[in-house]
Amino acid sequence: MAHEAQLFLRQLLTKPKQISAIAPSSPWLAKAMAQGLGPQSGRVVEFGPGTGALTRGILAAGVAPENITVFEMSAEFVQHLRRAMPRVTVHHAAAQAAVGLVDQGVERVISGLPLLSMPVELRRSIVKAAFDILAPDGIYTQFTYGSKPPLSPEVLADMGLRVTDGPKVWANLPPARVYHFRSAK
Tens digit of each residue's pLDDT (9 = 90 or more) over 112-127:
999 999 999 999 999 9
CB count within 10 Å of CB 87 equals 10
Distances (CA, A) of 15 to 12, 60, 76, 119: 5, 29, 12, 17
- On whether the CB atoms of residues 103 and 133 are closer than 8 A, the answer is yes
The pLDDT value given to residue 173: 87
Confidence of residue 25 (pLDDT cuts 50, 70, 90): confident
- pLDDT digit string, tens, across residues 152-181: 999 999 999 999 999 999 998 899 999 999
In the predicted structure, residue 8 carries a pLDDT above the cut 90:
no
Q: How far apart are CA 18 and CA 171, in angstroms?
A: 23
Flag whether pLDDT at 18 surpasses 80.
Answer: no
CA–CA separation, 45 vs 107, rounded Å?
8
Q: Is the pLDDT of residue 182 over 80?
A: yes
174's CB contacts (< 8 A; 6+ apart) are: 22, 145
Mean pLDDT of the 13-29 span? 65
Average pLDDT over residues 12-32: 69
Q: Which amino acid is at 49?
A: P
Q: How confident is the model at residue 19 (pLDDT cuts 50, 70, 90)?
A: very low
d(CA 11, CA 120): 24
Q: Is 178 left (phi over 0), alpha (psi -120 to 50) or beta?
A: beta
Q: How many residues in total does the chain contain?
A: 185
Q: Contact at 8 Å (CB) between 141 and 108?
A: yes
Rounded to the nearest angstrom, the gap between the alpha carbon of residue 6 and the centroid of all alpha carbons in its chain is 21
Q: Which residue has the higher pLDDT, 15 or 37?
A: 37
pTM across the whole model? 0.90
Task: Please name every residue paired with 89 in a beta bridge, in sequence order, or none if there are none.
Answer: 69
Residue 12 near residue 24 (C-beta atoms within 8 A): no
Cis peptide leading into 136, omega within 30 of 0? no
Give the CATH H-level superfamily of domain 2-183: Vaccinia Virus protein VP39 (3.40.50.150)
The predicted-structure confidence for 47-64, as pLDDT tens digits, reads as follows 999 999 999 999 999 999
What digits encode the pLDDT tens for the residues 81-100?
Answer: 999 999 999 999 999 999 99
125-152 pLDDT tens trace: 999 999 999 999 999 999 999 899 999 9
